[in-house]
Structure formats: C-alpha cells, structure tokens
Structure 1
Amino acid sequence: MREIDVVFDPERKLFLYFGITFIAIGVGPFGTYETMTLWQRAVFWSLDILGCALIVVPILHVFYFSRLAGNIPSFPRFVLGIALAALPAAGYISVLYGMVGDRLEITTPYPLLYVQVTIFSILLLLTEFVLWPALFGNRQEKRSATDEDVSEAAEAAPATLAHKQLEDASLPLMSRLPHNVRQGSVVSISMQDHYAEVTLTTGKALILMRLSDAIDLLEGYPGVRVHRSHWVAQQFLTAIERRDRGYRAVLEDGRDLPVSATYLEAARQQLVSGAGVEPV
C-alpha cells in the first residue's frame, strides 16, 4: 500500500467525526436508544466518539511520523499506531460508561473492548486518510503545485539549471513527491507550517514532514541546513552574502534564504567545498 495520507485536515474531521456522532445520536446503538433521551444520547455519544478521537488521532500522528517507527512500512505503522492509541481510548470508554448510571452498563471485557475500539478506529481512520483523499482529493496535493504551475516553473527556470538534472529518483524523499516533479534535482527544502516545501528543478511540492526528517530521506545528498527552517543543495548554492544585520544564502535560481548564526560556518564550508567560491 502507498504512503497513507496521515495529515491534519479539519474539513475531513468536521464531516466524518461529527457525521458519525450525529448518526449514533439518532440510531442509539448499544442500548442507548432505549435507556436515554435524545439530549442524553447527544451528550453521551459526543463524549464517546469525539473524546476517543482526541485520544487516538494525536497518538497516531506522533507514532506514524516518529523516527523510531520510520523503518516500518506505512500500513503496519498505521495499524500499530492505532493499536497503541486504542489502549487509553478503551479505558476512557469504560470510565464513561461507568459514569452513565445503572441503566446502561458495559458488560464487554476490557480485552474485547480494546479489540473493538482498535477495529473501529482503523476503519474510521482509513476512511479519513485513504478513502476521503481518493474521493475528494488530497489537501496536500491541492496545496502543491499543479501540473500547469510545474510546467510554467520549468519553462521559467534558468537554462543554467538544465545541466544540474541528476539521477535523483532513487532518493527515498522522491517517493513522497508527486510523479510530475520527481525527475528534477532537489534545490532546497523550506518549512511552511507543518509542511516541508521541496523545491526541485522541475517544480515544487509540499509534504507533511519535519525538515529534519526530509533531510534524512536525502541520504547524504550534498547540501547544508542554513536555518532551522531551510536546507539548500550544495550544487545550487552560489553565495553567502551579508545583508543588513544578517546573512542570506543565494541560490542559482535567483532566490535567497536566511542563514542563521548557528549554521553560518557550515554553510560557508559547504559553499567553498562545493563551488570553490569564497563567501562574501
């Protein structure tokens, strides 16, 4: 299975989680229809479903993007993250049922309840992270450059970049990018909110990933981190210039990125070793 689209998309969560909550309130499963009024069901199922979501989703996100689990394939990592999150979620449901009163008691043993919560969560989150993007599109892809934008960017790129097109398709980072930009060389990576914006000679793409994780996926591709939010490839770094009170890394495509004091010396060394040009 391809990489699962585990992203924080409020639109998905609003429609899916509240939709399921409203259905549960109306249907009243597990005896809640007979033992509760409409208002009581509204309170109970809101606490049940939305409360579990507040437990399961953050744990899944942390586990799925953890470096410790980075070598596990996407789908097993996804399932393991949910299985881990289901432990406290099942406990939360047990406590919630215990607070309801004598008219509604949970008779399911905790181990069985844990399995049920795990299965339900897997189905729900597969709907959110796999079925939803397949039906309505990937929010990440919508924010990435479109095919037309990529074509325009490629036409506008300086001719001097043409000879820089390397065989980079084998880099692990490339498998996370849209197919229409994978044939280019990585120029820079910059953070945009929680997304890493990867600029290539063929266009741009956004991936939900920390900058440090994106750099790890380059597996030694020559380059240097110039700022906590920016990394540049050695072959496209043309100068380090002092401007006002700070420094800027000048790239071959005409852009310039900030250089923080922490990474200044490393950026200078990368410039000298890569291009044989003395920094300004």
Structure 2
Amino acid sequence: MREIDVVFDPERKLFLYFGITFLAIGVGPFGTYETMSLWQRTVFWSLDILGCALIVVPIVHVSYHSRFLKFLSSQPRFLFGVVLAALPAAGYISVLYGTVGNKLEITTPFPLLYVQVTVFSALLLLTEFVLWPKLFGNRGGKDAPTQQLSASLAPDTALSGEIHRSPGDTIPLMSRLPEEVRGGAIVSISMQDHYAEVTLTSGRALILMRLGDAIDLLEGCPGARVHRSHWVALDFFETIEKRDRGYRVRLKDGRELPLSATYLEAARQQLAQFSRAETV
C-alpha cells in the first residue's frame, strides 16, 4: 500500500457511511437489537456512526494534508489522524450510550473503547480511501477542474515524436487522472496549494496530492525534481539556464520552471545520463 488517496468524495462518503448505518440499524449489534425498538436503533446508530464520522473524517483530512506534517509520508500522516480523532470519537460514544436507550449501558473501559474506535475507524477509512478506489475507480482529477492546454503547449506532431514512452504504457499516476487527458504524455508536475497540477501533452489536471506522493506514482516515467514544487519529465527537458542569481529549466513546450540550488546538480546529472542514453 504505497498511497492512501485521502480525497473528499461526497458520493463515496454518502454510500459508505449511510450503508453502514442502515446495516447497523437492521442487524442491531452490541445488544441494541434486543434492547431497542427499530426507531430507537435508527436514532442511536445514526447518531453513533454519522456523528463519529463528522468527528473523525475532518481530523484525518486535516492531518493528512497538513503542511506541518509534510516531513511524514502518507501512511504515518493518515495513522496519526486516525489515532488523534479516535479520542474525541470515543468520548462522544460514551456520552451517547448514556443518553439514547436507557436500557443500554456501556461496560467497556474507556481505554479499550478508544482502541476499538481507533481500529474500527482505521478499517472504515482504509475501505473508503484504498479499497473503494480499487473496486469502483478513483475520482482522481475530478476532485478539481481539468484544464485544456493551449495549442502551443501540445502540438500534435512536434512533441509526440520525441516521447520515449507511449501514452498507453502503464504509469500508476495515470489512473488518478481524468480519462480525457490520459492519452497524453506527462510533461511536468507542479504544486498549486494542496493540489498537484499534472501537465500532459493532452491537457492539465489537478489532483489533491503531495508532489512527493505523485512522484512515487511515476514508475517508468524518467524525470527529475527541479524544485520543492516542480518535477519535469526528462523527455521534455530542453536546457538549464542561468538567470541572475538563480537557474531556470526550459521545457520543450516553451515553458520555464525554477531550478533550485538543492536540486541543481542532481538535475544536471539526470539530464546528462538521459542524453547519453538517447544517443546509444
């Protein structure tokens, strides 16, 4: 599991959380079937599951996309959010048991309840963010608008002949993009706030993802990170130019991106190696 796709997909949440709520109302787990009427179970499990979701989901989203936790990879950020969110959720459940259904008392010690809520929340959220996309597809760039490139960015013949990897080849990141742009080749990726803007010869798409996580999904697509906010495919590198006190990378589509000193030497080496490989 290399990537946990924590995106806000209302349709996914609606079907998943309401589905579990209706299942709990019908089955009546933890003694609620014997001690509560159908109406009481409806009130109790709606408040329990949907109420906990309102607590846990925002905290996990904030934790996963927090700029203060960028030093962590996606999995630790996700787990940190779950562990943090389970504490108020467990407290909410403790209060709920004493409020709805007088015949139902919670006997589980709070530390154990906290662990149970943590495990259940992790399983539910992994279902939402990992299993659901595998079964039903990923919204990918649909979480943000897709932008068409100008004609100068993606000429039909000028760039297509220089691509060393056909657009149909499997690049994991492609599955996150809207279908209308998947036929192109990836040119660059740049960060726009919390979104990774993927530029292809066929268009642009925004994905709610960190740049490092997007790069992890570029297996088989040679490229170099040139800045904390920019990555460029080696197929579309043209030159590295000195500008005043800094450096710029010129791409074959005419754009220029900043090249920071941190990535300068590595970018030069990768570009040189790629150029030698082309001539062999």
TM-score bracket for the superposition, by shorter chain length: 0.5 to 0.7
Q: Does 1:62 align with 2:62?
A: yes
- Which residue of structure 2 aligns with residue 185 of structure 1? 187
- Which residue of structure 1 aligns with residue 264 of structure 2? none
**Contact in 1 for aligned 2:48/2:96 (Cα 8 Å):** yes
Aligned residue pair count: 215
Equivalent-residue separation in structure 1 for 2:229 and 2:8 (angstroms):
31
- Which residue of structure 1 aligns with residue 49 of structure 2? 49
- Which residue of structure 1 aligns with residue 14 of structure 2? 14
SS in 1 for 2:6: coil
1:31-110 equivalent positions in 2, closer than 5 A:
31-110=31-110
Q: CA separation of 1:161/1:133 partners in 2, compared to 1, >3 Å: closer, same or farther?
A: closer
**Contact in 2 for aligned 1:140/1:207 (Cα 8 Å):** yes
SS in 2 for 1:104: coil
Question: What are structure 2's unaligned runs of at least 5 residues?
Answer: 165-170, 176-181, 215-223, 231-247, 259-280
SS in 2 for 1:30: coil
- Which residue of structure 1 aligns with residue 5 of structure 2? 5
Query: Once structures 1 and 2 are overlaid, which stretch shifts more, 30-39 or 71-80?
Result: 71-80
**Residue 156 of structure 1 aligns to which amino acid in structure 2?**
P
The two structures have a TM-score, normalised by structure 1, of 0.62
Q: CA separation of 1:22/1:201 partners in 2, compared to 1, >3 Å: closer, same or farther?
A: same
Equivalent-residue separation in structure 2 for 1:222 and 1:143 (angstroms):
20
Shift in Å at residue 236 of structure 1?
A: 5.8
Q: CA separation of 1:145/1:41 partners in 2, compared to 1, >3 Å: closer, same or farther?
A: closer
Shift in Å at residue 100 of structure 1?
A: 2.3
- Which residue of structure 1 aligns with residue 227 of structure 2? 220
Shift in Å at residue 234 of structure 1?
A: 5.9
Q: CA separation of 1:159/1:65 partners in 2, compared to 1, >3 Å: closer, same or farther?
A: same
Which whole-Å deviations, capped at 9, do the CAs of 1:85-114 have from their partners, x for residues lacking one?
101000000011111254111111110000
**Contact in 1 for aligned 2:198/2:206 (Cα 8 Å):** yes
Q: CA separation of 1:97/1:177 partners in 2, compared to 1, >3 Å: closer, same or farther?
A: same
SS in 2 for 1:199: strand
Q: CA separation of 1:53/1:183 partners in 2, compared to 1, >3 Å: closer, same or farther?
A: same
Q: Does 1:235 align with 2:235?
A: no
Equivalent-residue separation in structure 1 for 2:201 and 2:88 (angstroms):
46
Equivalent-residue separation in structure 2 for 1:48 and 1:124 (angstroms):
14
Q: Does 1:136 align with 2:136?
A: yes
- Which residue of structure 1 aligns with residue 155 of structure 2? 156
Equivalent-residue separation in structure 1 for 2:9 and 2:42 (angstroms):
24
**Contact in 1 for aligned 2:145/2:205 (Cα 8 Å):** yes
Shift in Å at residue 153 of structure 1?
A: 10
Equivalent-residue separation in structure 2 for 1:73 and 1:84 (angstroms):
17
SS in 1 for 2:250: helix
Let me know the Cα RMSD of the aligned residues.
4.1
The two structures have a TM-score, normalised by structure 2, of 0.62
Question: Taking every aligned residue pair, what percent have the same amino acid on both sides?
Answer: 64
**Residue 250 of structure 2 aligns to which amino acid in structure 1?**
Q
Choose between structure 1 and 2 for higher RCO, CA contacts under 8 A separated by at least 6 residues.
Answer: 2
**Residue 25 of structure 1 aligns to which amino acid in structure 2?**
I
**Contact in 2 for aligned 1:186/1:201 (Cα 8 Å):** no
- Which residue of structure 1 aligns with residue 204 of structure 2? 204
**Residue 79 of structure 1 aligns to which amino acid in structure 2?**
L
Q: CA separation of 1:40/1:221 partners in 2, compared to 1, >3 Å: closer, same or farther?
A: closer
**Residue 127 of structure 1 aligns to which amino acid in structure 2?**
T
Which whole-Å deviations, capped at 9, do the CAs of 1:64-94 have from their partners, x for residues lacking one?
1112322323223222211111010000000
Question: What are structure 1's unaligned runs of at least 5 residues?
Answer: 167-174, 224-232, 238-250, 254-265, 267-280
